[in-house]
Amino acid sequence: MKELARTLLFSPVGIYIVKALRLVYRPVERHAGKLKFKGAFELKTTEGARFRLYNNAFVFETHLFWLGLQHYSWERETRRIWNHLCPQSDVILDIGANSGIFAVLAKVYNPQATVVAFEPQPNIFYALTKNNSINDFDIRCENIALSDRSGRMPFYNYGPNTFTDVNTTAGSLNKNWREDRQSSIEVEVATLKNYCETHQIQNIDLIKMDVETHEFEVLLGYKDLLYRHRPLIILEVQNEVIGNRIQTLLEGTDYQFFNIHEQTGIRQVMKMGNDSGNHNYLLCPAEKIHQLSAFTSIAE
């Protein structure tokens, strides 16, 4: 019975089944990711803007379908900050874009912005390009990873069918990250400095980075352009070692660091990587602090 239901939901009629079911049934969040399906659906922002997402039976999109943007707790405060900063940014990068929700939101909130999304895992990159095309956006989707060197490198993920059907959201160039049931593929890798020079990107205003413990290497590959562009950066810091390395890289640059607590807001911190359960941080150069004026908790 379960296999029959899965076959139906993954078929072309699956989207119509779940849309009909949603009229009479709304699961709680802990169950919302279980009723997966394939197909495109519409979402609406708090401000009323509408856009579409393609769900390839991934957990994140399934949650959004059942709960909506406002009621899904995953990175709610991070998304709120991102939505606030995108209209103030002309060039926006989503590094480790996954299926592209942050890149899509960047275009929703700032249609004129240049948005570049990097995602090296092929099956997830497919979903990213679908989300770009079904909205008729002009996001530049790049099927590459970023690091501190260029070439081809192994890209690691865990679990069965991880490079064909599953989205663990945990792919990384770091072999030591989530080693249980791990496998790998080879992917193209570039440095951010070389990418900017090749594509004549003169400045970057805003970056979101979620590359599963490889954030320091990406920033290292940005090289001197990091200090010239001085972008606002939202990134994940899994531990104090990574946090210390990033802070050392930014020493003397007047960057300030804020932990993003998904329930209570943001607060300035002196060290990154020791906020248990809240791994997202906002890195802000001193001259752009005014862009955070809407977030009153920064003064606490």
Q: What is the DSSP letter of 172?
A: B
Angle at 200 between CA 198 and CA 205, to 5 degrees: 120
User: Which residues are paired to 54 by β-bridges?
Assistant: 40
Contact 152, 136 (CB under 8 A): no
Q: What is the pLDDT of residues 119-143, one digit of tens each?
A: 999 999 999 999 999 999 999 999 9
Tell me the pTM: 0.95
Contact 213, 248 (CB under 8 A): no
Contact 105, 83 (CB under 8 A): yes
Measure the CA–CA gap between 270 and 272, rounded to whole angstroms: 7
Domain ranges of the chain: 1-72, 75-299
Q: What is the DSSP letter of 75?
A: T
Query: Is 169 in a helix, a strand, or coil?
Result: coil
Per-residue pLDDT of the chain (300 residues; tens, 9 = 90+): 567 667 768 888 889 999 999 999 989 999 998 889 999 999 999 999 999 999 999 999 999 999 999 999 999 999 999 999 999 999 999 999 999 999 999 999 999 999 999 999 999 999 999 999 999 999 999 999 999 999 999 999 999 999 998 899 999 999 999 999 999 999 999 999 999 999 999 999 999 999 999 999 999 999 999 999 999 999 999 999 999 999 999 999 999 999 999 988 999 999 999 887 899 999 999 999 999 988 755 544
Contact 55, 39 (CB under 8 A): yes
The beta strands (E) that lie in the chain are given as: 38-44, 50-56, 91-95, 114-118, 140-142, 145-147, 151-158, 182-191, 206-209, 232-236, 255-261, 265-269, 280-285
**Residue whose C-alpha is closest to residue 96's, from 13, 28, 42, 171:** 171
User: Please, which residues have CB within 8 angstroms of residue 145's CB and are 6 or more apart in sequence?
Assistant: 118, 120, 153, 155, 173, 187, 188, 189, 190, 211
Q: What is the DSSP letter of 298?
A: G
Contact 63, 38 (CB under 8 A): no
pLDDT of residue 108: 98
CATH number of the domain located at residue range(s) 75-299 in this protein: 3.40.50.150
Q: What is the pLDDT of residues 59-118, one digit of tens each?
A: 999 999 999 999 999 999 999 999 999 999 999 999 999 999 999 999 999 999 999 999
